[in-house]
Amino acid sequence: MKPKRFYQQLYVQAFAALLLGIAFGFFWPELGVKMKPLGDAFINLVKMLIGPIIFCTVVHGLASMGDLKKLGRIGGKTLLYFEVVSTLALVIGLVVVNVLKPGVGFNIDPATLDPNIAKAYTTNAHALSTVDFLLNLIPKTFISAFVSGDLLQVLVVAALVAFAIQAMGERGKPVLHVIGVGSQVFFNIMHIVVKLAPFGIFGAMAFTVGSNGVRSLTYLFDLIAGFYITAALFVVLVLGAIAWFSGFSIFRFLVFIKEELVLVLGTSSSETALPGMIEKMKRLGCAESTVGLVIPTGYSFNLDGTNIYMAMGAVFLAQATNTPLDLPHQISLLVVAMITSKGASGVTGAGFVCLAATLAAVPSVPIESLALLVGIDRLMSQCRSFTNLIGNGVATVVISRWEKEITPELLNANLRQLAVNNFAVK
């Protein structure tokens, strides 16, 4: 197979489209806003395939496992890891925003803000109770799980189908074979769709810069810069330490998933990179059953970037409106955020809705103050999605290492080899 020329590499094309989109939106803002359908069309194409890909991957992985004890063990380790790391992300966000104090000095009077702006985001935002959350895992019909786009519902349906096939024994093998072939079909469709990524990224970035103008790069700069720096430190220090203890380099891992990172940076949604992450984790050597369980579950239970954003955003709004928020109130905010963050299933902008749900549940901070963040949420969404994607990728490799599915030597050999193949140019 001939090596690709550098300009044929997807990440090069995607990054070029990102820069062109920024320039287009800056110089021709009115036309930039009209480019929005390009980004929306690409995201919808990817979302169209996520349900079937998750379903086929999970069913094939779990049904092939043959050991329910192993499934329970992996599931337990996964949820424990998610809760520890995502809680750590919340705590770090809380500490940083209290140290930097980006909202102090704004002196915003909530009465001067348009309540209708925040209302548009808080109408359906509410913190789910434990019972509501569990009931929401069950789709109304078999098909509605795929229609709603709720990854946890798809995961539940897939698990039930996998157990049913496993219970059939030899009679279930033909069905399992069909699902395996179906998975290949959907991944091949995804390969076709991903070739359109540069157009989607161009449209999304042109719209973002065109609709917000220079304000999008300067408005509330302290909060934006603080959030990006905190997320970067979380990836390098926290996830980097976890990766090091698991026997691989976080930087080498970032190079390995560079196409997915550029895709997320351009579309502001980690969901667009989900199929690619599933495929790459399997190529890295992680078991299909582990990948199929960890990646989809992580999109609801392991949103590190969303957690950092929610902690920083809520305290920032309190600072900006001069709302007293002592340590007990901040701790209660953290506990509520741990629950509401489970509703952000990789959907673009879902982190903002979860922040609204948190403020609604802890009414110390004026809900009207959300209007301050509406204009910059797109920029924040990019960093949230970026961090979420990396966190879920690292989690998959870590769980796979804990299960001894792959050795550190093989893992690093695969990272080096696959990175060399990706960088091969002519």
> Angle at which helices 68-100 and 327-340 pack, to 10 degrees?
140
Q: How far apart are CA 205 and CA 33, in angstroms?
A: 9
Quick one: three-class SS letters along 322-336?
A: CCCCCHHHHHHHHHH
Q: What is the pLDDT of residue 236?
A: 94
> What are the C-alpha distances in Å from 28 to residues 24, 35, 219, 306, 341?
6, 11, 20, 31, 37
Greatest alpha-carbon span in the chain: 69
Distance separating alpha carbons of residues 220 and 225, to the nearest angstrom: 9
Interatomic CA distance for residues 243 and 396, integer angstroms = 11
Q: Which pair of tokens denotes residue 377?
A: 């949420």
Residue-level pLDDT at 232 = 93
pLDDT score, position 233:
93
Give the pLDDT of residue 361: 65
Question: Can you read off the two tokens belonging to residue 395?
Answer: 């989690």
What pLDDT was estimated at residue 88? 92
Q: How far apart are CA 404 and CA 171, in angstroms?
A: 30
What pLDDT score does 1 carry? Answer: 45
* Contact between residue 42 and residue 196 where contact means Cβ atoms under 8 Å apart: yes
> What is the C-alpha separation between 292 and 61, in angstroms, rounded?
6
pTM above 0.75, yes or no: yes
For residue 408, which phi and psi values (nearest 5 degrees)?
-55, -40
- Supply 426's token pair: 């002519």
* Residue count (the chain): 426
pLDDT at 212: 59
Can you read off the two tokens belonging to residue 194?
A: 């991903």
Domain-wise residue ranges, the chain: 9-421
250/239 Cα distance (integer angstroms): 7
* Grouped pLDDT means (10 residues each) for the chain, 426 residues: 60 80 85 85 82 84 73 85 90 90 78 60 53 74 78 82 85 87 86 84 80 55 87 94 93 90 79 85 88 83 85 86 81 74 52 70 73 73 87 93 89 79 48
104's tokens = 């102090």
| d(C-alpha 103, C-alpha 315), whole Å | 8
pLDDT at 7 (0 to 100): 59
Q: For domain 9-421, is the CATH number 2.30.30.100?
A: no
User: 101 in helix, strand or coil?
Assistant: coil
pLDDT of residue 253: 94
